[in-house]
Structure formats: C-alpha cells, structure tokens
Structure 1
Amino acid sequence: MIEHVLAVVAVHDIDSAREWYEKLFDRPADNNPMPSLVEWQAAPAAWVQVTVDPERAGSSQFNVAVEDIELFVDAARSRGIDFGNIVDANKGVRLSTVSDPDGNSVSAIGGFREHY
C-alpha cells in the first residue's frame, strides 16, 4: 500500500530554488536530507521534493488544491510569487499557474474535489 506521494521538482540551483519555494510555501523547508535536495510536506502524506537535476530542470509540474484560490494566489503574490490570472476550467474548477525560476509549472486549483 502506498503511504506517501512525493512530487519531484528538478532545478539547476538548489539555493535559488529553495528561496523561491520558501516563498511559495510561506515557510522554510521541512527537511534537507542532502545538499542537493530540500522537501516540504504539503499535506499529511504529500511531499514536494526540490532537487538538483540539470538535465530535467524546467520540465516538472505539480498542482496544489487549495480551499480559497483567491486568498492563496493573493497571499503568494504578496510574497513575490507571481501567479497568473485565475481562470475558470470546468465544473466549477478554477486555476492559476506560475513558473519557478527554472520554468517548472505550479498550478493552484480551486474547487477541486475527488469526484466530479
């Protein structure tokens, strides 16, 4: 049985990535198991790992489902994370996307539910 899900984000420079993701998550990393890897626990069994991998940097993508997308996006913008406009997707779902310094994509999802 799967106990945790880990999204892996490939970057060129761990120091600049750590700084950007600290702004995204509004806190320092939860774990730094090795010099080339930092981790944030995004939910009880969900982690985001940011790691140095120059060959894959810029090709990662992950989504975060948030309770209030306007509040989340506005708070992130106040910390320097420039999410795009919130757009209507489908069935009440709304999206806003930003790219990290390497070009990896992070989307905030409002109105997410497990069953549609």
Structure 2
Amino acid sequence: MFFEMTYQVRVIDITEGYNWYKNFLNKDVDFKPHDGFVEWELIPGCWLQVAEGTPSDGSGPLRLGVKDINAEKVRLEKELNIDDFQVYSRPEVPVKWVTFADPWGNRIGLFEYIDKKEENERIKFILGKVEV
C-alpha cells in the first residue's frame, strides 16, 4: 500500500532553486532538514523535494493540478520569466495541460480539469474538504 509520495528535482544552486520554487508554488518551504535540500508539501502526503546537485536530463514532468491554467500561465510568464508556452487539449482527454522547464531543465507541467464539477469532486476527495 502506498500512502505518501515525494518527487525530487535537482538544481545547481539551492538558493536560486529555493527562490524559484517558492515563487512558482506561491508558498514558503515546509521542511528544510539540512543544507542543500528543501521540501514543500503540495497536498497532504505529496512532497516536492528540491536538492542541490546535477539536474537529470529528460526527467518529468512533474504535473500539478490548478483551477485556472490560463491565469497560472500568465502569472508564470510574468513572475518567473518563463517563455511563452502553449496550453494543449484533446477531445478525449478530460484536462487541459502545459509543459515547461525550470531554469535547470527539470520539466514541469500544469493541468486543469475541463469539467469543473469533476474538478471540485477531486479536490474534495483528495483534500477531504466539504466546500471548495
């Protein structure tokens, strides 16, 4: 049985990595166990680890769910100077998605449910919330 998960990306400079991911995630770090390593709990039991080291080619993407992918796209282009990237969708896929890279080449993506009722049900289930 799986009950938690972590996903690690590596950055060449931990201070730059910390600042970039703090801005990307819109929140401060949740755990800093030692130098060169920080963690954010994205949703209960789901951790993003940023470690100082050599980034891995071709890893990812780590894809995160958002409520408004177009608003996030605008925010990321403005606040993090991410080059313009395209929002994709296909009729048979229930989400829209984007993929881009952090400054170290780690691939990251976002997705948004097209059906907002389904999105709200997923959020309630995952976070255990009655109201979204």
Mark yes or no: TM-score above 0.5.
yes
Question: What are structure 1's unaligned runs of at least 5 residues?
Answer: none
Q: In the alignment, is the contact (CA less than 8 A) between 1:4 and 1:46 conserved in 2?
A: yes
TM-score by length of 2: 0.73
User: Deviation of residue 57 (structure 1)?
Assistant: 4.1
Q: Which has the larger radius of gyration?
A: 2
State the shift of 1:76 in Å.
3.1
For residues 91 and 59 of structure 1, what CA distance do their matches in structure 2 show?
24
* Structure 2 Cα separation of the partners of residues 6 and 38 of structure 1: 12
1:77 paired with 2:100, answer: no
Q: Is the CA contact (8 Å cut-off) linking 1:58 and 1:103 kept in structure 2?
A: yes
Matched, 1:66 2:63: no
The answer to whether residue 94 in structure 2 is matched with residue 92 in structure 1 is yes
Structure with the bigger percentage of strand: 1
Q: What is the RMSD computed on CA atoms of the aligned residues?
A: 2.2
Number of residue-to-residue matches in the alignment? 113
Deviations 1:20-79 (A, max 9, x none): 10110012111111111111111111010001222x445432111222222332333342
Q: Distance in 2 between matches of 1:58 and 1:92?
A: 29
More helix by share: 2
Letter paired with 1:60: S
SS at match of 1:27: coil
State the alpha-carbon separation in 1 of the partners of residues 13 and 102 from structure 2: 12
Within the candidate set 106, 116, 125, 1:104 is matched to 106
Distance (Å, rounded) in 2 between the aligned partners of 1:47 and 1:73: 22
Unaligned stretches of 5+ residues in structure 2: 123-132
Q: Which residue type is aligned with residue 111 of structure 1?
A: Y
CA distance in 2, matches of 1:8, 1:66: 20
Q: Measured at CA, do residues 13 and 35 of structure 1 come closer, stay the same or move farther in structure 2, by a change above 3 Å?
A: same
Greater relative contact order (Cα 8 A, min sep 6): structure 1 or 2?
1
